[in-house]
C-alpha cells in the first residue's frame, strides 16, 4: 500500500494512548465523567457563541454546577462534597476543555473565595456563605491584584482603617474574575498590622464593580475592577485566620493546582479537534493526517499532553497525601499552561484558515490561555520560583 | 413506597458493538459497557417518586461481575441499595429464562412498584416487563411517558404514535418508561462518593432457588444462529437539475415510499 493510505490500526484518542485511567480511583473517574457529560450537554453547544458575544450565563451555570457538587468540591463540610484533590483536578480539566472562562468561574468560586472563607473565616462567615456558595446561589470573587500591583501584591495600596470597632476599606482592585456578578468579595487590604482579608458583601455602600470591556481573551468570563470607596464593615468582617500575604498566597496555590489540570483540558480539546480535522481534510488527494509533517505535529502534541497529565496526576497524589509544596505547584502551572498554549497554536496551523473561525475551538483556547499564562502567577514568576528552588537564590527583585 | 428498578448493563450503543463469534452472544469483554440508556429514565422516575412519597429505591441487575459499574451509576444517582444477580450459568439466556431469574429475585424483595426501561439497546426484545407481569401476577403498564402514584394507585400515560392512553392500576405493578418521561439527573459528587458505601447484595442462582440447568444458552428458547453486518452504504443518487430538479426529487422520494 502507498504510504499514508494504510490504515492498520484504529485511531485512538491521544490520552487513551497513555492508558492513564488505572491511575485514578473509580469514583474519581465517575466524577470526571459527570463533568465531561455536563460540559458536552450544557456548555459545548453554546460556548463559541458566548465567547463571541462576551457573555457567560453565570447564575444559571453556577446553580447547575452547584447541583453537581463542583463548587468547592474539594472542601470538607458546609455543604461541600469533600472530594480528593485528584477528582478536583480532573473536573477542572473537563471544565476547561469547555472553556477557560468556565473553569475560571469554578476556580475563583471554589479555590479562591470559598477556600479563603473555609480556611481563614470565622464560624459565622462559613455558615453564612459556604453552603450558599456550594449550591451556586451566592457567587464569590477574590480581590488581590491592583492596577499597579500584580506580580508584586505586597505593594498593594488598598487600606483597611479602623474607625471605632468598624473597618473602612478604600482602594481599587483590578482584573477581578466574577467581580461584577459577585454577592461576596474576599478583599485583601493593608492594615496597621499588615495585610488582612475581609469578607465584603457586595451590596455594602461604597462598593462597586464595573466590568472590564474589550477583552480579547477569556471573553466567556466576567473580569472587573473593584472600587472600594470608604466601604464600612463591622469588626467581624475580617478573616480571623489569615495575617500577612501568606493567606492570599495559599489560596492562589489552591487555584493554581486546578489550572495545572485545567489548561490541559483546553489542549486536549484543541488536539482532538485538530486530529479529527486532519483525518477528513483532503489535501493533494490524501488526508492531511497521512503526511509525515502533520503526524510529527500530532505526535509531539500527544506526547506533551500526556506528559502534562502525568505530571498533574503526580502533583495531585502529592496533594492528596498532604505533601504538595508551592514550588511543586509552580512546576505544574508553568508546564501545563506553556504547553497548552503551544498545542492550541499548533492545532490552529493544522486547520489552516478554518482554524481562525469560532466553529473550531483552538483559536478561542489559545486566546484564553493568554490570560491563564498571566493570572495565578505569570510564567516568568513561576520560572523565578523554580529558579529560586534549584539555585537557592531569589531573583524576584 | 418501595421501588425496584431493573437495570441492565449493555455495550455502549455509541461505539462499535460485536457478537462473540464462538456462540453469537453479545461480546461484552471488548465493548464499552454502560448502563442501558432507557434505564436511567426509570431510575430518575423512581427517585422522583421516592422524593415525594418516601421509601426506598432498590436497583436489581442480572449480569456479569463487571455489571457493578452500572449498579454504581444507579446508586450514585441516588438509589439506596442494589441486588446483583450474577452466575456464570446465566450466560446466553434468552428473555424468557432471564425473566425467571429476575422474577425469583423480585420475590425475595419487598416492592410496591417495579420500574424498568421500555427497551434495552442491545437485544431490543422489549418483552421483559410483560414476562415479569405474567410471572409475578401483577399489572403491567407499558411505555409510560408520565407516571403518578397516589396511595395504592398508579396512573400512567402510555405513549403511542398517535397520542397517549391513560392507564390506571392498583399496586404492586410493573411500569416500563420511555425517554420522554423525564430528564435523568447527573450523578452528584456527593452521590458518587456515597455510592461506594451503599449496600450491594450479590446473589447466585442457588440463592434464588433457580435451577442452573433451566437457564443459559443450552436450553434457551431462542438463540442467534447467524448474523451479518449492515451492508455498506451504496453510492448516493445524483439528481441533475435541468429545470425539473424538484419533480425528479419528489419522484425519487415517492419511489422510495418516503412521501
Ligand atoms: C482574565 C484575568 C482574570 C484575573 N482574575 C483575577 C482575580 O480574580 N483576582 C485577582 O486578584 N487577580 C486576578 N487577575 C490578575 C492576575 O493575577 C495578574 O494579572 C497577574 O498577577 C500579573 O500581574 P500584572 O498583570 O499586574 O502583571 P505585572 O506584574 O505588571 O507583570 C508584567 C510582566 O512582567 C513580568 N514580571 C513580573 N515580575 C518580574 C520579575 N521579577 N522579573 C521578570 N519579569 C517579571 C511578568 O511575568 C509579566 O510578564 C486576573 C488577570 C486576568 C488577565
- CB of A311 closer than 8 Å to CB of A385: no
- CB of B106 closer than 8 Å to CB of B132: yes
> Residue B16: closest CA among chain A residues belongs to which residue?
A10
Assess whether pLDDT exceeds 60 at residue B46. Answer: yes
| Gap between the Cα atoms of A346 and A295, Å rounded | 12
Q: What local confidence, expressed as pLDDT, does residue A371 receive?
A: 98
CB contacts of B72 in chain A (<8 Å) are: 26, 30
Q: Look-up: residue for cell 423525564?
A: B182
Number of residues that this document lists for chain A: 397
Active site residue A137: no
Third-level CATH fold of A140-237: Butyryl-CoA Dehydrogenase, subunit A; domain 2 (2.40.110)
Tell me the domain boundaries of chain B: 2-219
| Cβ pairs bridging A and B (under 8 Å) | 39
Q: Write out pLDDT tens, residues B13-37.
A: 888 888 888 888 888 877 888 999 9
Q: What local confidence, expressed as pLDDT, does residue A2 receive?
A: 41
- CB of B71 closer than 8 Å to CB of B58: no
Mean pLDDT of A86-104: 98
Ligand 1 center to A156 CA (angstroms): 13
3-state helix, strand, coil in chain B (%, to 5): 30, 25, 45
| Environment class of A378 (CB within 10 Å of its CB; exposed 0-12, middle 13-18, buried 19+) | middle
pTM confidence score: 0.90
Task: Output the residue whose Cα is nearest ligand 1's atom 6.
Answer: A176
Assess whether pLDDT exceeds 90 at residue A36. Answer: yes
pLDDT > 90 in chain A, percent: 96
Q: What local confidence, expressed as pLDDT, does residue B125 receive?
A: 85
- What cell numbers appear for A38 in the block? 455536563
Q: What local confidence, expressed as pLDDT, does residue A84 receive?
A: 97
B76 touches chain A (CB under 8 A): yes
Nearest chain A CA: its distance from B17 CA (Å): 15
Ligand 1 center to A145 CA (angstroms): 8
Mean pLDDT of A318-330: 97
Instruction: Give the contacts of B95 (CB within 8 A, at least 6 positions apart).
Output: B123, B125, B127, B128, B131, B222
pLDDT confidence of B258, banded at 50, 70, 90? confident
Q: Is the C-beta atom of A381 inside 6 A of ligand 1? A: yes
| Gap between the Cα atoms of A304 and A308, Å rounded | 6
Q: What local confidence, expressed as pLDDT, does residue B256 receive?
A: 87
Reported ipTM: 0.85
> Residue B192: closest CA among chain A residues belongs to which residue?
A27
Third-level CATH fold of A246-391: Butyryl-CoA Dehydrogenase, subunit A; domain 3 (1.20.140)
Q: What local confidence, expressed as pLDDT, does residue B28 receive?
A: 82
Q: What is the DSSP string of A251-271?
A: HHHHHHHHHHHHHHHHHHHHH
Which has more confidence, B233 or A56? A56
Which among A26, A37, A83 has CB closest to B189? A83
Q: Which atom of ligand 1 is nearest to the CA of A147?
A: 26
Q: Write out pLDDT tens, residues B183-242.
A: 999 999 999 999 999 999 999 999 999 999 999 999 999 988 988 888 888 778 888 888
Q: Is the C-beta atom of A158 inside 6 A of ligand 1? A: no
Q: Write out pLDDT tens, residues A213-225.
A: 999 999 999 999 9
| Environment class of B95 (CB within 10 Å of its CB; exposed 0-12, middle 13-18, buried 19+) | middle
Nearest chain A CA: its distance from B16 CA (Å): 11
Q: Is the four-CA dihedral A276, A367, A89, A141 of positive or negative sign?
A: negative
3-state helix, strand, coil in chain A (%, to 5): 55, 15, 30
Interface of A with B (CB under 8 A): 26-27, 30-31, 34, 37-38, 67-70, 73, 81-83, 87
Instruction: Give the contacts of B29 (CB within 8 A, at least 6 positions apart).
Output: none
CATH architecture observed for domain A14-135: Orthogonal Bundle (1.10)
Tell me the domain boundaries of chain A: 14-135, 140-237, 246-391
- CB of A366 closer than 8 Å to CB of A345: yes
Third-level CATH fold of B2-219: Rossmann fold (3.40.50)
- Look at B192 and A27 and tell me if their CB atoms are within 8 Å: yes
Give strand pairing partners of A287.
A282
Which has more confidence, A5 or B25? B25
| Gap between the Cα atoms of A114 and A130, Å rounded | 6
- Look at B192 and A31 and tell me if their CB atoms are within 8 Å: yes
- What cell numbers appear for A83 in the block? 472530594
pLDDT confidence of A5, banded at 50, 70, 90? very low
- What cell numbers appear for B207 in the block? 440463592
pLDDT confidence of A3, banded at 50, 70, 90? very low
Nearest chain B CA: its distance from A73 CA (Å): 8
- What cell numbers appear for B141 in the block? 403498564
- What cell numbers appear for A332 in the block? 505544574
Q: What local confidence, expressed as pLDDT, does residue B24 receive?
A: 87
Q: What local confidence, expressed as pLDDT, does residue A9 receive?
A: 57
| Gap between the Cα atoms of A387 and A391, Å rounded | 6
Q: Write out pLDDT tens, residues B148-186.
A: 999 999 999 999 999 999 999 999 999 999 999 999 999
Mean pLDDT of A141-155: 97
- What cell numbers appear for A95 in the block? 471544565
Amino acid at each position: 500500500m502507498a504510504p499514508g493510505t494504510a490504515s492498520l490500526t484504529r485511531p485512538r484518542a491521544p490520552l487513551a494512548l497513555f492508558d492513564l485511567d488505572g491511575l485514578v480511583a473509580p469514583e474519581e473517574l465517575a466524577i470526571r465523567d459527570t463533568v465531561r457529560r455536563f460540559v458536552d450537554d450544557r456548555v459545548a453547544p453554546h460556548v463559541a457563541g458566548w465567547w463571541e458575544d462576551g457573555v457567560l450565563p453565570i447564575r444559571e451555570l453556577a446553580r447547575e454546577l452547584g447541583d453537581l457538587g463542583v463548587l468547592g468540591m474539594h472542601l470538607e463540610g458546609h455543604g461541600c462534597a469533600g472530594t480528593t484533590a485528584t477528582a478536583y483536578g480532573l473536573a477542572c480539566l473537563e471544565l476547561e476543555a469547555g472553556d477557560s472562562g468556565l473553569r475560571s468561574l469554578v476556580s475563583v468560586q471554589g479555590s479562591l473565595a470559598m477556600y479563603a472563607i473555609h480556611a481563614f473565616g470565622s464560624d459565622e462567615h462559613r455558615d453564612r456563605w459556604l453552603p450558599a456558595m456550594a449550591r451556586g446561589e451566592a457567587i464569590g470573587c477574590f480581590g488581590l491584584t491592583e492596577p499597579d500591583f500584580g506580580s508584586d501584591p505586597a505593594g498593594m495600596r488598598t487600606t483597611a482603617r479602623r474607625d471605632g470597632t468598624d473597618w473602612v476599606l478604600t482602594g481599587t482592585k483590578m482584573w477581578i474574575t466574577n467581580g461584577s456578578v459577585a454577592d461576596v468579595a474576599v478583599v485583601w487590604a493593608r492594615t496597621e498590622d499588615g495585610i488582612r482579608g475581609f469578607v465584603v458583601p457586595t451590596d455594602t455602600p461604597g462598593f462597586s464593580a464595573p466590568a472590564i470591556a474589550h477583552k480579547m481573551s477569556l471573553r466567556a468570563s466576567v473580569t472587573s475592577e473593584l472600587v472600594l470607596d470608604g466601604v464600612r464593615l463591622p469588626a467581624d468582617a475580617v478573616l480571623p485566620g489569615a495575617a500577612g500575604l501568606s493567606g492570599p498566597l495559599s489560596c492562589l496555590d489552591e487555584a493554581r493546582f486546578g489550572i495545572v489540570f485545567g489548561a490541559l483540558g483546553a489542549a486536549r480539546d484543541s488536539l482532538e479537534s485538530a486530529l479529527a480535522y486532519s483525518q477528513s481534510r483532503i489535501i493533494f488527494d490524501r488526508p492531511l493526517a497521512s503526511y509525515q509533517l502533520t503526524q510529527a505535529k500530532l505526535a509531539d502534541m500527544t506526547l506533551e499532553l500526556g506528559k502534562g497529565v502525568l505530571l498533574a496526576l503526580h502533583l495531585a497524589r502529592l496533594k492528596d497525601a498532604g505533601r504538595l509544596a508551592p514550588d511543586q505547584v509552580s512546576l505544574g502551572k508553568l508546564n501545563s499552561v506553556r504547553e497548552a498554549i503551544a498545542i492550541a497554536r499548533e492545532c490552529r496551523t493544522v486547520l489552516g484558515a478554518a482554524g481562525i473561525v469560532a466553529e473550531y475551538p483552538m483559536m478561542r483556547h489559545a486566546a484564553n490561555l493568554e490570560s491563564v499564562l498571566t493570572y495565578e502567577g505569570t510564567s516568568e514568576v513561576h520560572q523565578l520560583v523554580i529558579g529560586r528552588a534549584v539555585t537557592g537564590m531569589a531573583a524576584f527583585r | 413506597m418501595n421501588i425496584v428498578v431493573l437495570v441492565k448493563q449493555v455495550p455502549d450503543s455509541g461505539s462499535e458493538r460485536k457478537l462473540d463469534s464462538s456462540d453469537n452472544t453479545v461480546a461484552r469483554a471488548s465493548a464499552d459497557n454502560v448502563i442501558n440508556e432507557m434505564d436511567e429514565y426509570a431510575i430518575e422516575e423512581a427517585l422522583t417518586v421516592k422524593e415525594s412519597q418516601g421509601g426506598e429505591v432498590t436497583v436489581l441487575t442480572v449480569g456479569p461481575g463487571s455489571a457493578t459499574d452500572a449498579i454504581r451509576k444507579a446508586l450514585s444517582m441516588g438509589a439506596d441499595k442494589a441486588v446483583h444477580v450474577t452466575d456464570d450459568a446465566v450466560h446466553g439466556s434468552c428473555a424468557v429464562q432471564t425473566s425467571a431469574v429476575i422474577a425469583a429475585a423480585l420475590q425475595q424483595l419487598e416492592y410496591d412498584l417495579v420500574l424498568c426501561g421500555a427497551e434495552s439497546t442491545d437485544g431490543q426484545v422489549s418483552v421483559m416487563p410483560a414476562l415479569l407481569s405474567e410471572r409475578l401476577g401483577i399489572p403491567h403498564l407499558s411505555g409510560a411517558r408520565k407516571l403518578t402514584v397516589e396511595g395504592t394507585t398508579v396512573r400512567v400515560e402510555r405513549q403511542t404514535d398517535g397520542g397517549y392512553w391513560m392507564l390506571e392500576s392498583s399496586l404492586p405493578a410493573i411500569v416500563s418508561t420511555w425517554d420522554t418521561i423525564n430528564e435523568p439527573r447527573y450523578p452528584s459528587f456527593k452521590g458518587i462518593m456515597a455510592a461506594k458505601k451503599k449496600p450491594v447484595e450479590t446473589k447466585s442462582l442457588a440463592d434464588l432457588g433457580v435451577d442452573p440447568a433451566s437457564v443459559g444458552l443450552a436450553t434457551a428458547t431462542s438463540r442467534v444462529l447467524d448474523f451479518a453486518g449492515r451492508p455498506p452504504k451504496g453510492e448516493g443518487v445524483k439528481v441533475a437539475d435541468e429545470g425539473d430538479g424538484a419533480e425528479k426529487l419528489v419522484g425519487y422520494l415517492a419511489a422510495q415510499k418516503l412521501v
